[in-house]
Amino acid sequence: MVKKIFDFYYKMSAVSVINTRFFSKATIFIGIPVNQTMIPMLKKLLFALCFAFALTAAHAQLKSPRQLFPGLFETVQMSDIFPDNKTFVDATAKRDPVLILKDYNEQKDKPGFDLKQFVTDNFIIPGTHNDGFKSDIQGGIRKHIDTLWQVLYRRHESVSQYSSLLPVPNDFVVPGGRFRETYYWDSYFTMLGLQESHKTKIIQDMIGNFAYLLDTYGFIPNGIRTYYLTRSQPPFFSMMVDILAKDEGNKVYTKYQPELLKEYEFWMKGSQNLATGKAIRNTVRMQGGEILNRYWDESDQPREESYKKDVNAAKDTKQAPGDFYRNIRAAAESGWDFSTRWMDTTGKLETIQTTNIIPVDLNCLLYHLELDIAKSYTIQGNEAKFKYYYNKAQQRKRAIQKYCWSAKDGWFMDYNWVEKHTTTHLSLAGVFPLSFKIADIKQASGVAANLKAKFLKAGGLVTTLDRSGQQWDSPNAWAPLQYMAIDGLNKYGNFNLARTVAENWVRSNIGVFNATGKLMEKYNVIDTDVKAGGGEYPLQDGFGWTNGVLLNLLNHYHIDTL
């Protein structure tokens, strides 16, 4: 139904004669004579009405694949017909799911039933977005990135009624590879490159989509899929508004003030009446009475996109299955899935305890959100509201200093609010207080010294100091964390170290590109001739946030050759 409505609109838009006749007949209903000059306005009105109707219809059917196909879902995901569990949840049913499920239940126990054939007969199996794309290494890295913006660009109206994709009102850019949809925190770092490419319109569109998601669901999902509607991701929306403000001025802060407030309400939900030492959803009241935040997922079931891996991993834990799945999902909300920063001192996945941890980077992002909300009220001349949110930000800043700074380690650490101590794992999350200017001068100096001594490698900064086999640990490195570290170093005057990190990272990116024609999701920065490993899926190429950060650094440091 959704697709039919969109198709109807675009067919009507394409033929002016039909438009004229159609809109002329509309006078019967609206009582106003319609002439040719009014048609563009009425076309926009028609589209708005069609889109609203389409979304209403879609929202009435917002069930995840596991909810739509009970029994069939579990059988497919626990089988090996698709190496990646994300394939089936991204597949599009060719007809009504009720009929598909009915046929499955009637046929599954009959002799000769072929599960893979049944699935391929009833679903459109997705490929990757860069299937068939050939890199032009000779054209250079800048040309490659410019071309990739088109390869990774997606039109918003292509959502099928029977897809797990969530409809959004504007076009968008995807990360690439198996990531066929918009992802929340990826998009900020992708926008850094889009801004360098002067693609303000697509930045506007993507921010508009995130604002729409906040207005529709009350939060920005991990990605625009029905199976992500139980969690968010690192809250970079206010940072995206900052990017747009560079091109459009401070008016964007008041324009998106309602959505900034909704983002804040989501992360702070339930905190008002929270007792000391207790947590609810994403909020924790610390022993000193302060409110800080954690990652959380509303579901305590295996992730649909990684169902088999979660079910199998739960066999090794001493936690109750629901607690284990919630911790796994909360780590997915962090974007760091997975890392020893979420685990006990053994660094083993079965000890994951994400919901017990106050992440330093998350709280820095919420500090920035509070400041942006305060700024929006300053622009409006609302001094009382400005003071309210500014004071919230200052309270959070003091709490980050109190709970997350480790003088012994010379590093900003995550804090285990249940055990009441900082965690034992140093990670690049510790650079966020520099990027947001929360650190004092002495702390920033200590972080810079540790970055240089412990994290800096030939290809950039390792994510943690632990070699666990998890993808968000050493020897792997990721574009967003390189950017935040470089930004933080620059803000405290560590310009030479910032440049060294940038040059090492750019060299790593270009080296892999020259060898493979690809820009990757993550990199091995210790053994730079070896592909990055770990994780629940093969190394992905594309790649939105790598492209964005790389282009930003190339331009900022005027790097053409190394």
Q: Is there a single domain that holds both residue 206 and residue 250?
A: yes
Q: Is there a single domain that holds both residue 562 and residue 431?
A: yes
In this predicted structure, what is the pLDDT of residue 362? 99
CB contact set of 46 (below 8 Å; sequence gap of 6+): 9, 12
Determine, yes or no, domain membership for 486.
yes
Q: Is there a single domain that holds both residue 53 and residue 71?
A: no
Determine, yes or no, domain membership for 10.
yes
Beta strand pairing call for 476-477 and 523-524: antiparallel
Q: Is there a single domain that holds both residue 443 and residue 504?
A: yes
Q: What is the mean pLDDT of the chain?
A: 90
DSSP-based three-state secondary structure for 93: strand
In this predicted structure, what is the pLDDT of residue 158? 73
CA distance readout (Å), 202 to 152, 153, 550: 12, 9, 19
In this predicted structure, what is the pLDDT of residue 547? 97
Determine, yes or no, domain membership for 432.
yes
Q: Is there a single domain that holds both residue 479 and residue 553?
A: yes
In this predicted structure, what is the pLDDT of residue 4? 44
pLDDT in tens, 99-148: 999 999 999 999 999 999 999 999 999 985 555 567 778 889 999 999 99
Determine, yes or no, domain membership for 414.
no
- Burial class from Cβ neighbours inside 10 Å (0-12, 13-18, 19+) for residue 32 reads exposed
Q: Is there a single domain that holds both residue 208 and residue 328?
A: no
In this predicted structure, what is the pLDDT of residue 540? 79
Contact yes or no for 92/192 (Cβ under 8 A): no
Q: Locate tokens 């440049």: which residue?
A: 499
Determine, yes or no, domain membership for 331.
yes
In this predicted structure, what is the pLDDT of residue 133? 67
Q: Is there a single domain that holds both residue 215 and residue 144?
A: yes
Q: Is there a single domain that holds both residue 73 and residue 201?
A: no
Rounded Cα distance, 378 and 367, in Å:
17
Rounded Cα distance, 158 and 171, in Å:
10
Which ranges of 269-320 would DSSP assign to H, the alpha helix? 307-314
Tell whether the torsion through CA atoms of 370, 226, 178 and 194 is positive or negative.
Answer: negative
Last residue of a domain, one of 312, 327, 356: 356
521 flagged as catalytic:
yes
Domain count, the chain: 5
pLDDT in tens, 199-246: 999 999 999 999 999 999 999 999 999 999 999 999 999 999 999 999
Determine, yes or no, domain membership for 291.
no
Determine, yes or no, domain membership for 389.
no
- Please report, to the nearest 10 degrees, the dihedral formed by the alpha carbons of residues 113, 118, 119, 125 taken in order: 130
- Burial class from Cβ neighbours inside 10 Å (0-12, 13-18, 19+) for residue 184 reads buried
- Could you list the residue range(s) of the whole structural domain that residue 72 is in? 65-124
In this predicted structure, what is the pLDDT of residue 128? 56
Rounded Cα distance, 341 and 76, in Å:
32
Q: Is there a single domain that holds both residue 77 and residue 54?
A: no
Q: Select which of 337, 372, 414, 473 is catalytic.
A: 337
- Burial class from Cβ neighbours inside 10 Å (0-12, 13-18, 19+) for residue 93 reads buried
Assigned token pair, 559: 């790097």
β-strand partners of 457: 460
Determine, yes or no, domain membership for 400.
no
Rounded Cα distance, 337 and 346, in Å:
17
Q: Is there a single domain that holds both residue 20 and residue 94?
A: no
Of 333, 182, 397, 368, the C-alpha closest to 260 is 368
DSSP letters for 440-453: -HHHHHHHHHHIII
Phi/psi for 411 (5° steps) reads: -155, 150
Q: Is there a single domain that holds both residue 216 and residue 150?
A: yes
In this predicted structure, what is the pLDDT of residue 520? 94
Q: Is there a single domain that holds both residue 149 and residue 177?
A: yes
Q: Select which of 90, 521, 536, 541 is catalytic.
A: 521
| Residues of the chain below pLDDT 50 | 1-32, 51-60
- Burial class from Cβ neighbours inside 10 Å (0-12, 13-18, 19+) for residue 129 reads buried
In this predicted structure, what is the pLDDT of residue 45? 57
**Quick check: bond before 133 cis, omega within 30?**
no
Last residue of a domain, one of 316, 332, 356: 356
